[in-house]
Amino acid sequence: MVKLVKWGANYRYPLGLVVKTMNEGTNCRLALPVLLAEYGIKPRPPKRVVTEVRQRYPKTWQIPEQERKKRPYYKDAITMDPEGSYCICFPSSVTR
C-alpha cells in the first residue's frame, strides 16, 4: 500500500510512500487483507463496539426460532458494505 504524497503537474508518476506490503492474494487467507485494504474495510471494530456487542449478546444468545423462520435464506450470497465498514462477519462463499 502506498500513501499518496504529491502528484505535481510536471510529474509523470505520483510521489508516494510505501506504508505496507502484502502478499499476492492467491488463496482465501492471503486475499482477505488485500480485499479489506482495497475496499477500505477495517478488519476490527473499535473496542467500545466489541464491548457493547458482548454485553448485549452473550455467547449463548441465538436468534429466536420464530424470528429465524421469518427470515429468508440466501445461499451463495455476498454483502456490499459501504466504505468504512468493519469486517465483523464473512457471509460470502467462494467456489472454484
Planar angle of CA 94, 59, 74, nearest 5 degrees: 30
Number of separate domains in the chain: 1
Q: Is residue 66 part of a domain?
A: yes
How many CB atoms sit inside 10 A of residue 57's CB? 10
Domain of 68, in residue numbers:
25-96
> Is this structure's pTM higher than 0.85?
no
Q: Is residue 83 part of a domain?
A: yes
Q: Is residue 11 part of a domain?
A: no
Mean pLDDT confidence for 63-67: 90
Q: What is the CA radius of gyration of the chain?
A: 19
pLDDT in tens, 4-34: 999 999 999 999 999 988 888 888 888 888 8
Q: Is residue 88 part of a domain?
A: yes
Q: Is residue 57 part of a domain?
A: yes
Q: Is residue 35 part of a domain?
A: yes
What are 18's three cell numbers? 510505501
